[in-house]
Structure 1
């Protein structure tokens, strides 16, 4: 019997095509699928062959809560494991994004950033 694993998460963004392009560039992912989605929206599935993020938009999305950590059901951050933390951070910073909360503790080094949708990402390397 195979253990359960996380296949995808789905969240709303302002521009799915732009967010997909960023995720492809920063993490070496690829767009697995894109097209029309529920309620007449547009969705991109971006990731690798076993897991992905589904990024969705319906017209002009409304701004979310300022602090997801204080909102029941809030998305606090998305954790991404990479082999080369420094190279990944350089790609993100090259797009004008500020990184923060750098840490080095077991089991790995990490940093955080917020994308243009105010979604927080934790990037970690166990190498």
Structure 2
């Protein structure tokens, strides 16, 4: 078994997808109308993806997800070249933080599009 996708609510799926494609080398797998007259973009690779969903209504911030049952705390992305991705993250205007070098890999985090936290890790 494998994880296929995670569905996340964002204000502008196309804009978020464009940033994630640039940072991680992903591609848009599908986009179109979605639940409750919303719009979704599926962005990722050939094996898994993020479903970036925007409903046709006003969005409200979630607050601190680390203290909420069912809160999504961060999305982990495995990359081959951690330094190259960190350079892209910085060039896109995001600030890497919480660097770590512990088993099973090296990593950093950043608060990306829509203030979603990403963990970028390399096992190389």
Q: Could you tell me the TM-score, scaled by structure 1's length?
A: 0.93
Q: Partner of 2:7 in structure 1?
A: 10
Q: How does 1:34-113 map to 2 (within 5 A)?
A: 34-59=31-56, 61-113=58-110
Given that 1:30 and 1:47 are in contact with CA atoms closer than 8 Å, whether structure 2 keeps it comes out as yes
Q: Which of 26, 30, 33 in structure 1 is aligned with 2:30? A: 33
Q: Could you tell me the TM-score, scaled by structure 2's length?
A: 0.96
SS in structure 1 of the partner of residue 113 of structure 2: coil
CA displacement, residues 87-118 of structure 1 (integer Å, 9 cap, x when unaligned): 00111110111110000111111000111311
CA displacement, residues 46-72 of structure 1 (integer Å, 9 cap, x when unaligned): 011111000010135423222101011
Q: Partner of 1:20 in structure 2?
A: 17
Gaps of 5+ in 1: none
Given that 1:14 and 1:60 are in contact with CA atoms closer than 8 Å, whether structure 2 keeps it comes out as no
Q: Partner of 1:117 in structure 2?
A: 114
SS in structure 1 of the partner of residue 17 of structure 2: helix
